[in-house]
């Protein structure tokens, strides 16, 4: 969506607030992100009733809901109210007790595939801890049933962990992404939230020289991790094709080498954490493409289920391509429309 839009504030039950529920957004800016929290701001005329505001919705000129977020506390200066949205997925930014080693009565692990893993992280863990988030939502993890289970990548332990971080760690392992969807009840006209985990399985080939692009990459990322129990050690490598393996291959290993060591008395836990560490460091690049150009508009259908196969990524070797996932879509009321590939964080220079 580009151009003029409307914003509406809702309470926690999605009841619209105000005598006039929709206000023209004089300005708005939205960055949807696959692996980090979204950014959203909107400014409209003075809002008379925001006391019970919980959600803010960005609507198209025809009234269709384009985006929804927690609204925080709207700020009014003069006759203008600015709303800064907080990604609905922040509901999972909780540090609680997580049991990835939970067993059934017959002694097998309760989590044995991706659907049971993501179901646990998105809902089960809160019920297990007797926690009510105060927000009603549905989940859909059915698409992860097509993911091959990687037992070596899960540390079978009980710990206090951040749920959002765990979701993103396993998204990195299984090439999945969690997004927010919503539906409206035709009878009550009330919205409802759904968190969906989908596979990143589609791809689109792009010749970078055809587009207006901006590139950034991080060559200082950890690319080798040693897992040890104090007596036995195993080294894992992050390769230049963003896969993880245990074999040193100079044609595939990244340089300069950056080594990280993980020690645990349980070697399997150390191995799982080593694999996790390297999976976190996959796709540490960023390529931004302007979709307002003639050729850029051909990418309008790309979403977070796509990889871009970027030909010409290395100017010295135009015959090869680099695969990076779609990581962000940036739009605003002034007509900006950009798409980003790669998992390089905005704060990558402060990490590790």
How far apart are the C-alpha atoms of 81 and 103, rounded to whole Å?
A: 51
192 and 209 inside one domain: no
Task: Indicate if 211 and 298 belong to the same structural domain.
Answer: yes
Q: In total, how many domains does the chain have? A: 4
Residue 350 confidence (pLDDT) above 90: no
pLDDT digits (tens, 9 = 90+) for 207-241: 998 998 998 877 778 999 999 999 999 999 999 99
Q: Is the dihedral of CA 51, 55, 58, 61 positive or negative?
A: negative
340: three-class secondary structure by DSSP:
strand
Token duo for residue 176:
């999945």
On the question of a cis peptide bond just before residue 203, with omega within 30 degrees of 0, the verdict is no
Whether residues 131 and 147 share a domain: the answer is yes
On whether both 72 and 145 belong to a single domain, the answer is no
Three-state SS sequence of 201-229: CEEEEEEHHHCCEEEEECCCCCCEEEEEC
pLDDT category, 258, cuts 50, 70, 90? very high
Among candidate residues 78, 40, 73, 45, the one with its CA nearest the CA of residue 57: 40
Q: Are residues 230 and 211 in the same domain?
A: no
Domain boundary, last residue among 238, 255, 280: 280
The enclosing domain of 102 has a CATH number of 3.55.50
Is 260 within 8 Å of 294 (Cβ atoms)? no
What is 138-205 written as a DSSP string?
EEE-GGGGGSPP-GGGS---EEEEEHHHHHHHHHHHHTEEEEEEEEE-TTT--EEEEEEEEE--EEEE
Same domain for 21 and 62? Answer: yes
Final residue belonging to a domain, choices 86, 102, 130: 86
pLDDT per residue as tens digits for the range 124-136:
999 999 999 988 8
Q: Are residues 79 and 160 in the same domain?
A: no
In terms of domains, do 177 and 118 share one?
A: yes
Question: Residue 16: beta bridge partners?
Answer: 10
pTM of the model: 0.92
* Same domain membership, residue 314 and residue 211: yes
48 and 37 housed in the same domain: yes
pLDDT at 346: 67
Q: Are residues 178 and 309 in the same domain?
A: no
Read off the pLDDT band of 151 (50, 70, 90): very high
Same domain, 192 and 230: no
What pLDDT, on the 0 to 100 scale, is given for residue 332? 95
Phi and psi (nearest 5°) for 340? -115, 145
Domain enclosing residue 274, as ranges: 224-280
- Last residue of one domain, picked from the residues 86, 117, 140: 86
């Amino acid at each position: 969506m580009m151009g003029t839009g409307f914003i509406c504030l809702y309470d926690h039950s999605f009841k619209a607030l105000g005598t006039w529920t929709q206000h023209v957004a004089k300005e708005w800016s939205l960055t949807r992100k696959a692996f980090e929290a979204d950014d959203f701001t909107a400014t409209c005329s003075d809002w008379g009733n925001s006391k019970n505001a919980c959600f803010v919705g960005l609507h198209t000129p025809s009234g269709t809901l384009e985006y929804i977020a927690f609204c925080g506390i709207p700020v009014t200066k003069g006759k203008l109210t600015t709303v800064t949205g907080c990604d609905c997925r922040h509901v999972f930014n909780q540090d609680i007790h997580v049991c990835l080693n939970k067993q059934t009565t017959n002694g097998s692990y309760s989590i044995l595939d991706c659907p049971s893993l993501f179901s646990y992280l998105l809902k089960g863990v809160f019920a297990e801890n007797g926690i009510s988030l105060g927000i009603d939502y549905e989940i859909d993890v059915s698409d992860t049933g097509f993911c091959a289970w990687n037992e070596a990548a899960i540390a079978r332990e009980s710990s206090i962990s951040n749920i959002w971080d765990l979701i993103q760690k396993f998204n990195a392992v299984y090439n999945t992404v969690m997004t927010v969807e919503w539906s409206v009840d035709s009878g009550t006209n009330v919205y409802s939230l759904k968190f969906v985990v989908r596979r990143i399985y589609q791809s689109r080939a792009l010749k970078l020289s055809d587009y207006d692009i901006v590139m950034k990459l991080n060559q200082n990322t950890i690319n080798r991790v040693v897992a040890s129990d104090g007596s036995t050690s195993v080294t894992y490598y992050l390769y230049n094709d963003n896969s993880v393996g245990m074999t040193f291959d100079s044609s595939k290993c990244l340089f300069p080498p950056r080594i990280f060591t993980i020690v645990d008395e349980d070697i399997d836990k150390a191995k799982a954490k080593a694999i996790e560490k390297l999976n976190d460091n996959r796709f540490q690049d960023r390529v931004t493409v302007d979709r307002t150009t003639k050729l850029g508009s051909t990418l309008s259908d790309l979403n977070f289920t796509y990889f871009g196969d970027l030909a010409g990524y290395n100017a010295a070797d135009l015959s090869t391509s680099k695969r990076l996932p779609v990581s962000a879509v940036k739009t605003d009321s002034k007509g900006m429309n950009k798409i980003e590939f790669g998992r390089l964080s905005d704060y990558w220079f402060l990490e590790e």
